[in-house]
Amino acid sequence: MWDFSIGRTIGILARTMPFILMRMAIYFVITLAFILATGTGAGIGYGVGSLSDSPESFAIWGGIFGMGFVGVAVYWAREWLLYMVKAAHIAVIVKLIDGEALPDGKGQVAYGREIVTARFGEANVLFALDQLIKGVIAAITGLIGAVAAFLPIPGLDGIARFANTVIRLSLTYVDEIILGYNIRTNSDNVWESSRRGLVLYAQNGLKMVKNAVWLSVFLWILSILVFVLALAPAAAILYAFPGEIAGLSFVVAIVFAWAFKAAVLEPFAIAALMAVYFDTIRGQVPDPEWDVKLTGASDKFRALAENARGAFGGRPVAA
């Protein structure tokens, strides 16, 4: 079974309700933007297409263009979202997992941002660190598979491939776990503490994978349920726009389910895995063998080491 407490995790999220509400507002505004852009693009396409014999085709392409435009805008806003919301939320979750009281007279969001700003300084530093960590986790995935391949257990290669898939699907959660470790250790060198956190994660990789499997199952079942529930309302909304674009309702429902997953379900997964990680590594030190393995397998891990050495005067290596 899993090693996290569902009740305790829900309790922690309930105590960070200002962040949950902010995330919901951000991601549901994004969903609304997708719907409006799709409808506006369809309307423009229908108007242009009215000069032809097939205005419906122009409406569909206009809707697709509008949706793509918003998608590009969201992609470029990811650095701000990471720095201003996600990292600050993680900082507060770390404090609550460790049983620390939040300061009186100060809002959670402002408190979380203060911690992140004091820890990382600028958004571009946090974003570069995040990209390096993602690259290292990809190497850990390969190493776990390589170790399993040499074990004389029938069928283990299939298990290893499945584990690799699970880790790849949960990359977002893993880099946020390391971010939480970074905040928790309060080291003067974020590059070195990230490197240590990754080694600790790698040497406990199988246990983390087990819990990631359970969380992945929970999250995908709930996301599919939200998608099914959102399908009919999405079709009804798009039916009001010109042209036959109601067929795009499944795309809008997917976006809605993604928004709910990002706003509510992902913080649950992050808090649960972070609690497991902190409990597992208690009293442990980084295994030198895993340090050597990661150094040989990942240029991103080597970049972390270079940034760690140059943290007090050197320039960070690009992600």
Residues 127-168: tens digit of each pLDDT: 888 888 888 887 887 776 555 444 444 555 566 566 566 656
Residues 304-314: tens digit of each pLDDT: 988 888 765 44
Flag whether the pTM goes above 0.85.
no
14's enclosing H/E stretch is helix 6-15
169's enclosing H/E stretch is helix 156-169
Give the mean pLDDT of 47-67. 64
HSE at residue 180, side-chain half, CA atoms within 13 A, is: 27
Which of the 8 DSSP states describes residue 51? T
Per-residue confidence (pLDDT) for residue 280, from 0 to 100: 95
More confident residue, 19 or 128: 19
Amino acid at 72: V
Q: Decide: helix, strand or coil at residue 98.
A: coil
Give the mean pLDDT of 63-77. 69
Contacts of 261 (CB under 8 A, 6+ apart): 219, 222, 223, 226
Whether 70 has a pLDDT exceeding 80, the answer reads no
Other Cβ atoms less than 10 A from the Cβ of 51: the count is: 8
Other Cβ atoms less than 10 A from the Cβ of 312: the count is: 8
